[in-house]
Amino acid sequence: MKIVDIIFLRHLLSHISIYSGYDNFIKQLDKENISYKEIFRKRSLKRFDLYRRSYITKRNKRKANSIGPFYNPFSYLAEMETLKAAARFHPKIIHNTFLEDNHGFLGAYKDKYKFHLIATAHQPVSWWKYMNKDTVYHGVDTDFFSCKNNISNRAYRVLFVGNWLRDTEFFERVISRMLQVSKDIFVDMVYSIDTDINSPIFRLCKYPQVTIHRFISNEKLVDLYNNSRLLFLPLKDCTANNSLLEALACGLPVVTTDLPGIRDYTNSCNAYYYKNERDCLEFILETIKDDAMLQERSTAASDFIRSNFSLPVVAAEHANIYRELY
């Protein structure tokens, strides 16, 4: 019977691509001489999936200390498949990579099957009811997301990417003022959520300098990063942010909100933390045409991400945690 070091219980989400997102460090673990097997939570059910199974058996429900609000039949089946794999492959560790959705009864079987259980939470610190022992970082594929165009060769373009926890009201106010002041700055928005007529994003469509991109490929996203001069990322809250890591890896400096989750992945050499609307607007207008300053920030950004958050670096950090439990 083959034995593996780790079984990963994974939950594929739309914002986790093959090049960025937390789980991508896993594909680098072979270089750390760590063997693993992956169990993926399903997105659909077939009749045989539920044959002779109930949603939550009374036995397993008693074993679960606390089942979160996002736990559902898909979560339960994923834990069941992981438990079956544990009985077969005898892992030293089971790593549930998405605690919020998939943490239920597995912990009750640690002693029986002799494994350690790790679960990763992704929500901002402000949402947590407890502090975790170890902080682990997201990584990004710095071979794919990389600087392919010198920033001084790029047009005067500001880029906005994403929707989760974005402060679109703040974004709309600053961008509207910017476009009224300057007619030669353009704005690209990568935003896949449907907008109604009252949406801050929709209101910006009245400006001819604004373009909205929806459901684009990873290749197109890299192209946008490499043809912009600033990423404008106003946030209400955050932990790791894929857009932040991707942009910095492409040598794109960031204008963003001063939050702990942002500070974890940036520094003052590659990110500007605005204080208010006026301060934010002034920085964008003063910086976007300053080739020398942007080049300095661009180089600092890509170097910083490669050194600290490339996938091999993040995989090595995880491997050290795993080895402490062996």
Per-residue pLDDT tens digits for 308-317: 999 999 999 9
Mean pLDDT of 179-183: 95
Task: Fill in the amino acid letter for 122.
Answer: H
Instruction: Kindly report which listed range (98-102, 183-187, 269-273) carries the lowest average pLDDT score.
Output: 98-102
Cα distances from 255 to residues 6, 66, 203, 247, in angstroms, run 39, 39, 21, 11
In a domain, 182, yes or no: yes
Q: Residue 85: how many CB atoms within 10 A of its CB? A: 19
Q: Measured between alpha carbons, how far is 179 from 14 in angstroms, rounded to an integer?
A: 32
Confidence tier at 121 by pLDDT (50, 70, 90): confident
Whether 318 and 235 map to the same domain: the answer is no
Q: What are the structure tokens assigned to 313, written together?
A: 């670096």
Confidence tier at 129 by pLDDT (50, 70, 90): low
Whether 87 and 109 map to the same domain: the answer is yes
Q: Measured between alpha carbons, how far is 63 from 57 in angstroms, rounded to an integer?
A: 10
Show the domain range for 162: 151-308
Q: What is the CATH number of the domain that holds 264?
A: 3.40.50.2000
Whether 40 and 155 map to the same domain: the answer is no
Residue 50 contacts by C-beta under 8 Å, 6 or more apart in sequence?
A: 73
Q: Measured between alpha carbons, how far is 142 from 159 in angstroms, rounded to an integer?
A: 19
φ, ψ for residue 7, nearest 5 deg: -110, 125
Q: What are the structure tokens assigned to 76, written together?
A: 């339960």
Q: What are the structure tokens assigned to 81, written together?
A: 């498949």
Structural domain count of the chain: 2
In a domain, 234, yes or no: yes
Whether 198 and 169 map to the same domain: the answer is yes
In a domain, 238, yes or no: yes
Whether 304 and 155 map to the same domain: the answer is yes
Q: Measured between alpha carbons, how far is 128 from 123 in angstroms, rounded to an integer?
A: 7
pLDDT of residue 128: 56
Which comes out higher in pLDDT, residue 154 or 193?
A: 154
In a domain, 248, yes or no: yes
Whether 74 and 125 map to the same domain: the answer is yes
Whether 315 and 274 map to the same domain: the answer is no
In a domain, 146, yes or no: no
pLDDT digits (tens, 9 = 90+) for 197-246: 888 999 999 999 999 999 999 999 999 999 999 999 999 998 789 999 99
In a domain, 269, yes or no: yes
Compute the half-sphere exposure of residue 10: CA atoms within 13 Å on the CB side of its CA. 18
- Rg (Cα) of the chain, in Å, rounded? 22
Whether 173 and 42 map to the same domain: the answer is no
Helix (H) or strand (E) holding 233: strand 230-233
Whether 298 and 320 map to the same domain: the answer is no
Whether 37 and 165 map to the same domain: the answer is no
In a domain, 114, yes or no: yes
Per-chain mean pLDDT for the chain? 89
pLDDT of residue 45: 52
Mean pLDDT of 115-133: 70
**Crossing angle of helices 277-287/168-181, nearest 10°?**
50
pLDDT of residue 54: 45
pLDDT of residue 51: 46
pLDDT of residue 57: 57
pLDDT digits (tens, 9 = 90+) for 232-280: 999 999 878 999 999 999 999 999 999 988 999 999 999 999 999 999 9
Confidence tier at 63 by pLDDT (50, 70, 90): low
Judge whether residue 1 has pLDDT over 80.
Answer: no
Whether 182 and 244 map to the same domain: the answer is yes
Strands across the sheet containing 210-213: 210-213, 186-190, 157-161, 230-233, 254-256, 271-273
φ, ψ for residue 159, nearest 5 deg: -115, 140
In a domain, 144, yes or no: no
Whether 318 and 304 map to the same domain: the answer is no
Which comes out higher in pLDDT, residue 17 or 286?
A: 286
